[in-house]
Amino acid sequence: MGRFIVTSGEDQDLLAASEEAEFAASVKAARARADARLTEANRAPVRSPDPPEEEEIAWTEQEDVYRPRPINARAYLASIALLRSVHVQPGQSFALVRKDAYQLLCGHLKSDVTIELGGLLCGEALYDREADTFIVVIETALPALNGDGTSTTFSYTPAAWEAMFPALQQMSKDRTIVGSYHSHPGMGVFLSSTDLHTQAEVFPHDWQVALVVDPVANTSGFFIGASGKPCRSQIV
């Protein structure tokens, strides 16, 4: 199933390494921009190196870590138009995907149902501390064009990264990469062992999601966190 790696010939190894480095830098910058808008109360202080004993301890803010925006989940869900009412249950998170973003990614995945295709999901993560509930709002889908897909796998190539760079660099400061999506043509909706490894290694935060779509059966499902726990969802 979907693999979050770069594949290329030997003559493209240096290019792949360069592209991966640029992508990592752009992701870090996007998260830093998103973090800048959060309130000071939602920031976790990071202690600076120990000063001499006679000096006061100084504290600095960690600028490159994205932190979900604090909300009241019930009030937030009540404020938006949902097709079905949602009962907030402690510890159970929820994914909301914009209709335009969902149509875009489904169109991409249906463009070739003989192989797996995939891409990134961008938006905002919200957190209700009292209910221990995340709401992941997916605003945009970024298709990984020119990826390397087979009937059972999908890999990101240097050309795929290059095509996504401009959108990542221009992403508004209140958004970040909240996960990924990929297809299982005719195989159903689940996370394979490879998908679980990708989720744990690349999208390990409690608020990051994986969307799996079977474009043949027209079914889909969200999974959240490093363990790939099934996640409720709605299109909005």
Provide the 3-class DSSP secondary structure of residue 102.
Answer: helix
Q: Which pLDDT belongs to residue 28?
A: 56
Give me the sign of the Cα torsion angle 83, 108, 17, 3. Answer: positive
Residue listed under structure tokens 């030997």? 10
Which tens digit of pLDDT belongs to each residue from 151-208?
A: 999 988 899 989 999 999 999 888 999 999 999 999 999 999 999 999 999 999 999 9
Q: What is the pTM of this model?
A: 0.74
Structural domains in the chain plus CATH codes: 2-235 (3.40.140.10)
Q: What percent of the chain has pLDDT over 90?
A: 65
**Residue 71 pLDDT > 70:** yes
As given in the structure block, the two tokens for residue 179 are: 């996960």
Q: Which pLDDT belongs to residue 122?
A: 97
Q: Which pLDDT belongs to residue 64?
A: 59
As given in the structure block, the two tokens for residue 198 are: 């990708």
Q: Which pLDDT belongs to residue 155?
A: 87
Q: Which pLDDT belongs to residue 39?
A: 40
DSSP characters over 14-33: HHHHHHHHHHHHHHHHHHHH
Q: Which pLDDT belongs to residue 181?
A: 97
What is the mean pLDDT of the segment spanning 201-218?
96
Q: How confident is the model at residue 59 (pLDDT cuts 50, 70, 90)?
A: very low
Q: Mean pLDDT over all residues of the chain?
A: 81
**Residue 234 pLDDT > 60:** yes
Q: Which pLDDT belongs to residue 86?
A: 84
Q: How confident is the model at residue 65 (pLDDT cuts 50, 70, 90)?
A: confident
Which tens digit of pLDDT belongs to each residue from 105-148?
A: 999 999 999 999 999 999 999 999 999 999 999 999 999 998 99
Residue 14's alpha-carbon distances to 17, 55, 66, 82, 158, in angstroms, are 5, 47, 30, 47, 10
Q: For 30-51, what is the HEC assignment?
A: HHHHHHHCCCHHHCCEEECCCC
Residue 190 phi, psi dihedral angles, 5° rounding: -170, 170
Q: Which pLDDT belongs to residue 25?
A: 57
